Amino acid sequence: MDHALQFGLLPLVFSSPSPIEVLRSYIGLYIKEEIMAEGLVRNIGNFFRFLETISFSHGCVLKVYNVARESGVERKTVEGYLSVLEDLLLCFYLPIFSKKAKRDMIVHKKFYFFDTGAYASLCPQGVLDFPEEMRGSLLEGLVAQILKAHLEYHNRDSVLFYWRTRTGLEVDFILYGKNLFTAIEVKNSKNIRSPDLKGLHAFLEDYPQANALFLYRGKERLQKGKILCIPVEEFLLSIDTFLVSQE
């Protein structure tokens, strides 16, 4: 689990005896040099600043104007860079779940790099950055990429969303399809606190037919009302057990 969080799940990196060096080479040769070689960007300095800035949006609601302002790159150029990343399958987005919404929802998509190792390599890590925040983003991103892969291989009629109201209530992932409706919240914590379940409780008020899972770094499986709390590693190793069809 810790290895996957630090280095990601790219087979070449994950199985290497020197994952740091392989990951750095991958990021340098593919993400940067390949994009340059293909002539996909004109100003490489702007693109590098964009990459550093967009790394802070991993697992967050994407606001293009913020990325443009913080990177010093024009908004249209940022939109073009995002298209390049998406076309090369280096990132993906989650849309907002708003089906039969009973609350005022936000409209922006959530952004994720395709792999936690790529995010970890691109995100600046200095004395003014907060390691705990990054660990939370790494964990959420790892769950996101595994959920996305699971749906693509096993539940192709289901879609991965997230849920967030304008008042700030949020659930990290909503899996919705013909026979699947599950809400999942992820926390990089060994304990379960009542505030951590607030978003799931609100979602269940609006959608009582959904299943609700809380994934955390603890060791016990617990039931909190309608919410099943599961160690995240247990969930990822037995994902088919928990994402059951609701026929």
60-61 β-sheet, strand order:
60-61, 110-113, 91-94
For residue 106, pLDDT beyond 70 = yes
pLDDT one-digit tens code per residue, 67-79: 999 999 999 999 9
Are 184 and 198 a contacting pair, CB within 8 Å?
no
Structural domains in the chain, sorted by start: 2-95+108-137 (1.10.10), 138-242 (3.40.1350.10)
Q: Give the pLDDT of residue 3.
A: 84
For the chain, what percent of residues have pLDDT higher than 70? 93
pLDDT one-digit tens code per residue, 178-204: 989 999 999 999 999 999 999 999 999
